[in-house]
């Protein structure tokens, strides 16, 4: 993801895919819990956190295999469940 900033074409595709991912997460939560409105930008916040976690693990010298449960749990907790 970091390298994508070096190329405008890749940066555009990256932004489109991340937006689509965030919108999908928000739609799934809205469908599952129609009684709880999804806050604006909740999907974007969840995606941002999920993308930051692997970078932090790499910087700290931890293996990415330790991150799978944390990534799922973080996304789940950031969006209304």
Q: What is the pLDDT of residues 51-60, one digit of tens each?
A: 888 888 888 8
Q: For the residues 32-38, what does the mean pLDDT come to?
A: 81
List for the chain the helix, strand, coil content (%; round to 5).
80, 0, 20
pLDDT, averaged across the chain: 79
Alpha-carbon span 11 to 45, nearest angstrom: 19
Q: How confident is residue 9, by pLDDT bands cut at 50, 70 and 90?
A: confident
Distances (CA, A) of 80 to 2, 38, 58, 65: 28, 7, 28, 26
> Is a pLDDT exceeding 70 seen at residue 40?
yes
């Amino acid at each position: 993801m970091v390298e994508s900033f070096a190329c405008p074409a890749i940066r555009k595709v990256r932004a489109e895919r991340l937006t689509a991912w965030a919108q999908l997460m928000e739609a799934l939560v809205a469908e599952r819990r129609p009684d709880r409105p999804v806050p604006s930008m909740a999907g974007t916040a969840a995606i941002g956190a999920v993308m930051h976690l692997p970078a932090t693990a790499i910087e700290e010298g931890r293996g990415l295999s330790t991150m799978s449960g944390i990534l799922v749990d973080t996304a789940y907790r950031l969006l209304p469940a």
